[in-house]
Amino acid sequence: MNHEFKLINQYFKHDYQHPATQLGNGDDASVHAIPDGYELVVSSDASVMGSHWPEDFPLKQASDRAVCAALSDLAAMGAEATWVWSTVFLQQPEQAKPIAAGIHAACQRHHIEIAGGDTVKAPYPALNLTVAGLIPSQKVMQRSTAKVGDDLWLYGELGHAALGLQHWQQGITSSVFIDAFSKITPHLKQGKQLRELGIRCCIDISDGLLQDANHIAQASNVQLQIHTEKLNIILLRQDLADEEEALQLALSGGEDYGLLFCACPTLRETLKQISFQQIGTCVEGSNVQVLQHGQEKRAINQGYDHFSTMA
């Protein structure tokens, strides 16, 4: 048997099959039926050693978090995650086993079918993941539907993953912050909950709060005002003993994978009761403004640069 096909058959087959799958992993392509009244949501995400995870990071953890990072895009759309296709780049065939173990672990945890993929030899390990999900027709959450007068809300922690990466690079191998970096949780349940509440504007925070907030501002043609005193950075302050550094990490650290969304003020009490955090408002404009006790705060790093390398 061809060595590539042997790797695929040995490590990347998966027993679970979604009810809407007509033809699963093992043919030239997979085939899926879209139920009546639903639409298909598809996203593609790359994860590369040295850019998305450190060179000494365990490959099983790296591939697990890569799948979860990709699923976070589906959460931001309000979709039910259903399928993943994984193209795996390997330096050595032996790397297939831990990478496959991480992919399987993430898919089993979130009840996702591995519908197909590929393996290829490359200079360094990497994954390209395509994920898909189902959503009721005309109910998808988007970046372009915020309105002046909406509240700005957050679900998830800010800055913890960025600090965890710093800890890892400093040789610290155990901390709550390292867990935040190495174990991504895609907020699929919360995304569905928001969609069912009628929320129509949402994005996941992968490149830093400010950078991703700016995507909403530009797409919706509104200004997002973020009030720093409403951000929960207590743990960051305790570890760093520097409020300014803690705030910078919260605003632009990246890798948070929380949900940032806009909602009509009539939903304010409902959202507070289910652990969402109001952090600002939408006003006239088309940018992001950071306010600290009512005063605009400037000179803030905007977020992750995909063309920089991880030290």
Residue 307 is predicted with a pLDDT of: 45
Instruction: Specify the range with the lowest mean pLDDT, choosing from 131-135, 167-171, 196-200.
Output: 167-171
**Residues 185-210: what's their mean pLDDT?**
97
Rg of the chain on CA atoms, in Å: 20
Residue 177 is predicted with a pLDDT of: 95
* Whole-angstrom distance, CA of residue 234 vs CA of residue 217: 27
Q: Write the DSSP assignment of 148-183 as a string of letters.
A: TT-EEEEES-SSHHHHHHHHHHTT----HHHHHHHS
CA torsion through residues 256, 41, 188, 271, sign: positive
* Whole-angstrom distance, CA of residue 157 vs CA of residue 277: 10
- AA letter at 147: K
Residue 237: half-sphere exposure toward Cβ, Cα within 13 Å: 8
Write the secondary structure of 106-138 as one string of H (helix), E (strand) and C (coil): HHHHHCCEEEEEEEEECCCCEEEEEEEEEEECC
Answer whether residue 54 shows pLDDT above 50. yes
Residue 244: half-sphere exposure toward Cβ, Cα within 13 Å: 5
Percent of the chain with pLDDT over 70: 91
Two tokens, residue 94? 């032996």
Answer whether residue 302 shows pLDDT above 80. no
> Which H or E element spans position 168?
helix 160-169
Residue 151 is predicted with a pLDDT of: 98
What are residue 282's DSSP bridge partners? 224
Give me the chain's average pLDDT, please.
Answer: 91
Greater confidence (17 vs 74) lies with 74
Q: Write the DSSP assignment of 39-65 as a string of letters.
A: EEEEEEEEEEBTTTB-TTS-HHHHHHH
pTM attached to this predicted model? 0.92
CATH number listed for the domain at residues 3-136: 3.30.1330.10
**Residues 126-137: what's their mean pLDDT?**
98
**Residues 99-128: what's their mean pLDDT?**
95
* Whole-angstrom distance, CA of residue 131 vs CA of residue 114: 9
Residue 1 is predicted with a pLDDT of: 46
| 147 CB neighbour count, 10 Å cutoff | 14
- What backbone torsions phi and psi does residue 144 show, to the nearest 5 degrees? -100, 15
> Strand 80-90 and strand 113-121: pairing?
parallel
Q: Where are the domains of the chain?
A: 3-136, 151-293
Residue 51 is predicted with a pLDDT of: 92
Two tokens, residue 153? 């809300």
**Residues 15-40: what's their mean pLDDT?**
90
* Whole-angstrom distance, CA of residue 277 vs CA of residue 280: 9
Residue 13 is predicted with a pLDDT of: 61
**Residues 175-183: what's their mean pLDDT?**
93
Measured distance between the N- and C-terminal CA atoms of the chain, rounded to whole angstroms: 40
Percent of the chain with pLDDT over 90: 80
* Whole-angstrom distance, CA of residue 31 vs CA of residue 13: 16
Per-residue pLDDT tens digits for 3-26: 555 555 555 566 678 999 999 887
Instruction: Specify the range with the lowest mean pLDDT, choosing from 3-7, 61-65, 228-232.
Output: 3-7
How many DSSP H helices and E strands does the chain contain? 10, 13
* Whole-angstrom distance, CA of residue 291 vs CA of residue 296: 4
Query: Binning pLDDT at 50, 70 and 90, where does residue 41 land?
Result: very high
The whole-angstrom distance between residue 265's C-alpha and the CA centroid of its chain comes to: 26
CATH number listed for the domain at residues 151-293: 3.90.650.10
Instruction: Specify the range with the lowest mean pLDDT, choosing from 147-156, 168-177, 277-286.
Output: 168-177
For 254, left (φ over 0), alpha (ψ -120 to 50), or beta?
Answer: left
